[in-house]
A = this chain, B = another copy of it.
Amino acid sequence: MASKIRESLLSSLSAHQETYVSGQQLAEETGCSRTAIWKHIEELRNEGFTIESKKKRGYRLLKTNDQLTENNLLLGMETKALGRTIVVMDSVDSTQKIAHTLAQDKAPEGTLVIAEEQRAGRGRMARVWHSPKGTGIWMSLLLRPSLPPQKAPQFTLITAVAVVQAIWDVCQLDVEIKWPNDLLLNNKKITGILTELQADSEQIHSLIIGIGMNVNQEKKDFPEELLSIATSLSIEKGEKISRSELVQRVMYHLERYYQIYLEKGFTPIKLLWESYAVSIGKYITARTLNGELTGVALGITDDGVLLLEDEKGTVHSIYSADIEISAKNRGKP
């Protein structure tokens, strides 16, 4: 748990960013002694904040760094519940695994597990998700919606919409969604989402949304075999991107859409999702466990199921598949 005093110190300093705040003023605002203030400032410096101090003038926060620390993430977090309890770790097998354990241990809704590195990051179908140190956002969010398990797959779609908007806020890059859980930039993978749940027939007990975002990787950071299919925001934008700001915007939009979903149902989110989706209205090939289907992607149902109409006009409900946009679409408007 972050020290409330350090959190409040950071708020004061960032409110006066680039100008000095006296130790006296900080002491009054936080209710600490000036010696205590000095100690907390030291702690913040250890966390990576650059804070200048000058005799008779006080302290000055130069600019926030991009280390993923609890303080860094909480400073600027505009949510009520989501991402308000943060577990930051350096290197983990998988943030999903840790979030599952925390869920069993009664962690509250909104608990966010975030790591600088995943040694065994997972994607859909237990596939490997490459999560190298310090360059991306590897995180898992715990929700506890009072909903039946049939609704769980919708959360992959809600999250996709939130991430698209967060990336727009921070990078002004236009991301597309590929059903069910990939976000693409120039046809390359930029983010993957993995929603897992523990439930009974009637009620979700815990929902764990894993989000893996390629942020500040350079081309040399990707293994050879991924270079043609994956990219990072930094490569596409041509500059370094603030990871903590991205986390904050994802939490902000996700909380907003989660609220809309609980109040108004899935329809408003579905419409947004379809407007961002790359495959809707196009010829696609869907590789399922039971074989391959080709046809036009009509849209998604209220349960998050993809509808595909084959050449005979039969509409198939697709729960799980790898989608490929067919070459047939070339030359179409």
Chain A residues in contact with chain B, CB under 8 A?
124-125, 146-150, 152-153, 155-156, 180-181, 194-203, 289, 303-305, 319-320
Taken together as a complex, chains A and B put the C-alpha atoms of A108 and B149 apart, in Å, by 23
Q: 4 tightest CB-CB pairs across the interface, nearest first?
A: A202-B320, A148-B319, A153-B201, A195-B201
Tell which of B149, B155, B289 touches A150, judged by Cβ atoms closer than 8 Å: B149
Tell which of B148, B153, B198 touches A148, judged by Cβ atoms closer than 8 Å: B153
For A194, list chain B residues within 8 Å (CB). Answer: 200-201
For A181, list chain B residues within 8 Å (CB). Answer: 201
Q: Are A152 and B195 in contact (CB under 8 A)?
A: no
Given A146-B289, A289-B146, A152 contacting B199 (CB threshold 8 A): yes
For A149, list chain B residues within 8 Å (CB). Answer: 149-150, 152-153, 197, 199
Taken together as a complex, chains A and B put the C-alpha atoms of A289 and B148 apart, in Å, by 11
Q: With both chains docked as a complex, state the minimum distance between the C-beta of A289 and any C-beta of chain B, in angstroms.
A: 6
Q: Are B303 and A124 in contact (CB under 8 A)?
A: no
Taken together as a complex, chains A and B put the C-alpha atoms of A305 and B202 apart, in Å, by 10
Tell which of B195, B203, B319 touches A320, judged by Cβ atoms closer than 8 Å: B203
For A148, list chain B residues within 8 Å (CB). Answer: 153, 319-320
Q: Are A153 and B196 in contact (CB under 8 A)?
A: no
